[in-house]
């Protein structure tokens, strides 16, 4: 398997070399978006795959044929990944593009374009838990040590302890910087912000919101179908999105499932009271210069 132990440095963050190369990252930075492009932007584990599925089904008017026959990374490829250039369809009509890159690398190109951007934010406590389990299964990510060690790294950008296989900072950078950076683009881009929690609470409403943003009206029966196929129970059985097509040497589903739990508030099963208080303190501190107001108690 290629470059499993390689770390790429880009724009001040570290990324897995298995998926990224200097060339693929440069290509992403130089990419020319065009009118009609729809770009899903997330920090990992925030609901990326879910939105890829929602957009696929919106554009197919609820017909699941494509969602069930084409892998999500082909339908909505990651801009920064090595295979992007050869995968993005160059057809008329909306191109769905996915990215985890920070705002400063892409905002200039997006500002010049008429691309539409969908940013999803998820309670960082649940992101930390989900990302921790993803590190367990993804062989191209460093070993994390215990959950408390990982949490410290997630919150403070500290390096994983020195006795681990590789000594790395949190790949993909800081959740706080990612969210603040992209939220800071609210006046510069054609962008909407959705939360994982609201999608969870009322999927239908979120689907309609996305349809409105895209200017893509749908009949109620079509929305019914989108909703039906984007449920966790359905998506977790769809091999085109549950990542079971990826060999075990890369994603080990014995360690954790990609479609793991799909719930809001799993952090309550993982953080101690003390860790939670510390999290709240750091969240308050780091988000004090950001007017993003989200009630994370939503469920
Ligand atoms: P958990 O690990 O908490 O279960 P991403 O696609 O950004 O990597 O995010 C993955 C997370 O989104 C996982 O969270 C996964 O289970 C969850 N997810 C994916 N599809 C979902 C759906 N239809 N409903 C709820 N959660 C979903």
Active-site pick, 100, 178, 200, 229 = 100
Any atom of ligand 1 within 6 Å of the Cβ of 48:
yes
100 is catalytic: yes
Q: Which pTM value belongs to this model?
A: 0.96
pLDDT at 167 over 60: no
**Percentage of residues of the chain with pLDDT beyond 90:** 89
DSSP output for the chain:
-TTTT-EEEETTEEEETTT--HHHHHHHHH----TT-EEEEE-TTSSHHHHHHHHHHHHTTT-THHHHHS-HHHHS-BTTSTTHHHHS--SSSPPEEEE---HHHHHHHHHHS--EEEEEE--HHHHHHHHHHHHHHBTTS----SHHHHHHHHHH-PPPPTTSSS----TT--HHHHHHHHHTTTTTSEEEEEEHHHHHH-HHHHHHHHHHHHT----HHHHHHHHHHTSHHHHTT-TTTSSTTS-TTTB-TTT--SS----S-GGGGT--HHHHHHHHHHHHHHTTT------TT--
pLDDT tens digits for 47-79? 999 999 999 999 999 999 999 999 999 999 999
For the chain, the average pLDDT equals 94
pLDDT tens digits for 99-136? 999 999 999 999 999 999 999 999 999 999 999 999 99
Residue nearest to ligand 1 atom 9, measured at CA: 45
Any atom of ligand 1 within 6 Å of the Cβ of 141:
no
Domains and CATH numbers, the chain: 7-286 (3.40.50.300)
């Amino acid at each position: 398997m290629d470059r499993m132990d390689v770390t790429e440095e880009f724009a001040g963050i570290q990324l897995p070399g298995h998926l990224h190369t200097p060339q693929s990252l440069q290509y992403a930075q130089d990419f020319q978006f065009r009118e009609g492009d729809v770009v899903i932007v997330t920090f990992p584990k925030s609901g990326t795959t879910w939105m890829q599925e929602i957009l696929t089904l919106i554009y197919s008017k609820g017909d699941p044929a494509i969602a069930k026959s084409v892998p999500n990374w082909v339908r909505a490829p990651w801009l920064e990944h090595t295979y992007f250039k050869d995968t993005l369809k160059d057809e008329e009509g909306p191109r769905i593009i996915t990215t985890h890159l920070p705002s400063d690398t892409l905002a200039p190109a997006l500002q010049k374009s008429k691309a539409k951007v969908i940013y999803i934010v998820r309670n960082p406590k649940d992101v930390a838990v989900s990302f921790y389990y993803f590190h367990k299964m993804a062989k191209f990510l460093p070993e994390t040590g215990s959950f408390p060690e990982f949490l410290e790294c997630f919150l403070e950008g500290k390096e994983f302890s020195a006795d681990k296989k590789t000594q790395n900072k949190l790949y993909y950078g800081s959740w706080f910087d990612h969210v603040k950076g992209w939220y800071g683009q609210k006046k510069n881009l054609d962008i909407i912000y959705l939360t994982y929690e609201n999608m969870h609470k009322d999927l239908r409403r979120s689907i309609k919101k996305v349809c409105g943003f895209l200017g893509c009206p749908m009949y109620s029966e079509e929305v019914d179908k989108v909703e039906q196929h984007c449920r966790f129970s359905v998506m977790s059985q769809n091999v085109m999105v549950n990542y079971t097509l990826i060999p075990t040497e890369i994603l080990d589903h014995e360690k954790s499932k990609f479609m793991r739990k799909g719930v809001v508030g799993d952090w309550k099963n993982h953080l101690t009271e003390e860790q939670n208080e510390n999290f709240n303190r750091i969240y308050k501190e780091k988000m004090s210069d950001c007017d993003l107001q989200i009630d994370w108690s939503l469920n």
